[in-house]
Homo-oligomer: A and B are copies of this chain.
Amino acid sequence: MKINTDYLTFQTEGEIDIIDLKYMLENLVKKSEVTEGLVSLNVIGSTGALTAIEYESGVLDDFRRILKELVPKGANYKHDVIDSNAHSHLRASLIGPSISFTIKNGQLQLGTWQNPVFVCLDIRPRSRKISVTIIGK
């Protein structure tokens, strides 16, 4: 049984920049030499979130739109007095900080049109970091 921890790091644009993690994750799984097990990811930071979506520009725009409609920016939030990013935190907490996927035959168990994504909800460009744990044999 092996266990590896690693990071994914990249630059983001802020205000719902959606980063495809599929190929980065597949590389980490390959590097780990785990053929059967689990990969678990968590965001480091409270203005980012993890989920899965089809990485198609139309539906990514639709996801941005629905997040803006459900949690509008600048809607008289208390936290905006401290830092004008209450909407970033709220959207992140709704989507959630962590996701996990099975590894079988050395492959992430994903659908053809299903991509694990990092959703950057911050208000400005940032350098972001995701923590990855791979457990298996």
Q: Assuming A62-B77, A78-B59, is B93 touching A51 (CB within 8 A)?
A: yes
Which 3 A-B pairs rank lowest in CB-CB distance, beginning with the nearest?
Answer: A58-B78, A45-B111, A59-B79
A23 to chain B, nearest CB (A): 17
Contact A46 B133 (CB under 8 A): no
A9 at the interface (CB under 8 A from B): no
Which residue numbers of A lie inside 8 Å of B, CB to CB? 1, 3, 5, 36-38, 40, 42-46, 51-54, 56-59, 61-63, 65-66, 70-71, 77-79, 81-82, 86, 89-90, 92-104, 109-111, 113-116, 131-133, 135-137
Of all chain B residues, which has the CB nearest A37? B3
Q: What does DSSP make chain A's interface, helix, strand, loop or mixed?
A: mixed
